[in-house]
Amino acid sequence: MAVDVLSPAAIEVRDNAVYIGGMWLAPHETARIDVVNPATEQRIGSIVDATPEVGKHAFAAARRAFHDWSRTTPEARADYLDALADALERHSEQLAVLATTEIGMPIRESRAVQADLPARVLRSTAEIARSFDWDTRDASGSSIVREPVGVVLGITPWNFPVHQIIAKLAPALAAGCTMVLKPAELTPLNALLLAGLCEEIGLPPGVFNVVTGAGATAGEALLQDGGYDIVSFTGSLTVGRHIGAVAGDRIIRATLELGGKSPAVVLDDADLDAAVRTTVRNCFTNAGQKCNAPTRLIVPERLRTDAVDIAVEAAEAYVLGDPLDEATTMGPLVSGTQRRKVLDHVSAAVTDGARLATGGTASEHERGYFVRPTIVTDLDPAAAIVREEVFGPVLVVLGHDGEDDAVHQANDTAYGLSAEVWSSDEARAAAVARKIRAGQVRVNGVRTPALPVSPFGGYKSSGLGREMGAYALEEFLEIKAILGDPHLT
Ligand code: NAP
Ligand code: MG
C-alpha cells in the first residue's frame, strides 16, 4: 500500500484483512472500501467491509480468549499494557504519519495525540490496574469482587482514532475483558497497525480483534449479533442513540461518548487576549474535528467586538497545507462530505443574518478538503450553528450580560461534554466551573495534565459513562458480593 513507512522497523499494515483470533484473514467474498488521504484525495489503501459471518467469527474468538484472559492476574495484564505502550513508542513516527495520512491532522498534533498520548494512557491504566481494589470487604464482612464484564464491542470514530481506540482498549484489557473493535471506515488503517503491534508484543490471540467496514453494514451487523457483553461507543449522537437502544433492548451495558457544543466562558475580569487566542487554538485543533472543542466563545457583550477582532487575527494566522509539512498548522477536513456539511452550516447561519468575520469558504488548494478557519458572530441564540455540532474549524462568538447570563448560556445546550472558564479570580472561576453541567471543565486554559487519568465523558446528550483513569476501568467491571466468604486468601 502507498502509505509512507519511514522507520526501518516499520511494521506491515495489512489492509484488505481483518484481525481475528491472532490471524490476518482476507475474506474473498466481501466488498472492499477505499481509504483516501484527505489532503491529496488519493487512495492509500482499502479495507474489507466485513459480513455478519466475519463478525460472528470475531465474537467467537474473543469469547474463547476471554476464558483465559479473564483469569490472568491484573499485574500480568498491566505488563501487557506497558509492552503495548513500548511498542507504540517504538513505532510512534509510523503511527503519527499514518494517522496524518488518514485524517489530515498536522503531523505535530498527530505525534502528540495519536502516539504519545495513547502510550501514556496505556501506562497510567497499567499503574491503576496494579493498585486497584479488585477484592475488598464491605462493612458487613462480605467480599466485594470486581470481575470483567466479558467481551467488549468497541466502535470508534475517525477524528482521534488511535487515542479513541486506546481509551477503550487499555481499561478493557486491564479489567480482563477481550475486544472486537470496529474502527471508523474513514480511518481504519491505524487500527490495523495497532493490531500488528498487539501481534508484535505477543498479546494472546483473540484478546484484541479488528473487524473493518462501514457503520451501516459491518457495524450494524456486529451490533445486531449480540455476541458481546458491553458495547463501548464513541461517535455521533444519532448513531449513539441507536446503539444505546439496541443494547438497552438486550439489557447489555453501553457506554456512549458522544458529541458536544462546548462553551468557553470569559468573565469580565479575564485576560481577554489570552482567553480568545487559547479558545481559537483549542477550537481549531484537528481543523475543529474534536468532540470537546470549545466552539462557543461567550464573552462580555461590551467586549464582543474586541474578542472577534482578536479571534479573526488568530484564525487568519493559520497555515493551511500539507499536514505532513511541519510548518502546517491546519490540515484538511477528513472528507468531502464533512467539508460540505461544515460549509452548509456556515452559509445557513449567514442567510439567517449572522456576520461572517472571517473564513466560511473552502480554501484555494487544488486538492484536499480544506476549509478556511471561520469566525461567526451576531447570532440568534436559536441558530443551528449555535446549537448543533459543526465539527469543523468554526467558532461562534456570543455576548453575555454578566456571570449568571454566561452560566445560563453555557448550559443552554443539549450537550455537556466539556467547558472552559476564564477569570483572573481563581475562586470565582472555580465557583462558575461548578455551575456548568459538563463532564470536564478547564479553568484559564489549563492543558491536559501529563498523567491522563482525569475522567472524560458527558452530561446530558453527550453520553453515558466515562473514559480515562480508574473511572474507565470501572466501566468494564461487574461487581459481585460474596456473603459469608470465609476470606481464606
Ligand atoms: P459516527 O458516524 O457516529 O460513527 C462512529 C462509529 O460508528 C464509526 O465507526 C461508524 O462507522 C460507526 N457506525 C455508524 N453507524 C453504525 C451502526 N448503525 N451500527 C454500528 N456502528 C455504526 O461518528 P463519526 O462521524 O465517525 O465521528 C464524529 C462524531 O463523534 C462527532 O459527533 C463527535 O462529537 C463524536 N466524538 C465524540 C467523542 C467523545 O469522546 N465524546 C470523541 C470523538 C468524537 P463509519 O465510520 O462507517 O461511519
Ligand atoms: Mg460516520
Cell output for 430: 472555580
Of 5-19, 79-93, 127-141, 363-377, where does mean pLDDT reach its minimum? 5-19
Over range 303-320, report the average pLDDT. 98
Of 3-17, 29-43, 253-267, where does mean pLDDT reach its minimum? 3-17
Report the sign of the C-alpha dihedral through residues 165, 284, 38, 101, in that order: negative
Dihedral through CA 378, CA 379, CA 385, CA 391, nearest 10?
40
Listed in sequence order, the residues at least 6 apart from 467 whose beta carbon sits closer than 8 Å to its beta carbon are 167, 168, 171, 255, 257, 455, 456, 457, 475
The answer to whether 395 and 362 are in contact (CB under 8 A) is no
pLDDT tens, position by position, 213-233 = 999 999 999 999 999 999 999
pLDDT tens, position by position, 140-184 = 999 999 999 999 999 999 999 999 999 999 999 999 999 999 999
Residue 133: closest CA among 405, 417, 474, 420: 474
| Type of residue at 22 | G
pLDDT at 237 over 50: yes
pLDDT tens, position by position, 84-129 = 999 999 999 999 999 999 999 999 999 999 999 999 999 999 999 9
CA of 489 to the centre of ligand 1 (A): 45
Of 199-208, 239-248, 306-315, 480-489, where does mean pLDDT reach its minimum? 480-489
The answer to whether 138 and 144 are in contact (CB under 8 A) is yes
Pocket residue to mutate for ligand 1, from 234, 246, 289, 475, most atoms within 8 A of Cβ: 234
Over range 19-44, report the average pLDDT. 94
pLDDT tens, position by position, 350-376 = 999 999 999 999 998 899 999 999 999
DSSP state of 460: G
Ligand closest to Cα of 223 equals 1
Q: Is the CB of 219 under 6 A from ligand 1?
A: yes
- Catalytic residue (choose from 291, 389, 467, 475): 291
Over range 377-382, report the average pLDDT. 95
Query: How sure is the predictor about 433, in pLDDT bands with cuts at 50, 70 and 90?
Result: very high
Please tell me the predicted confidence (pLDDT) of residue 489.
63
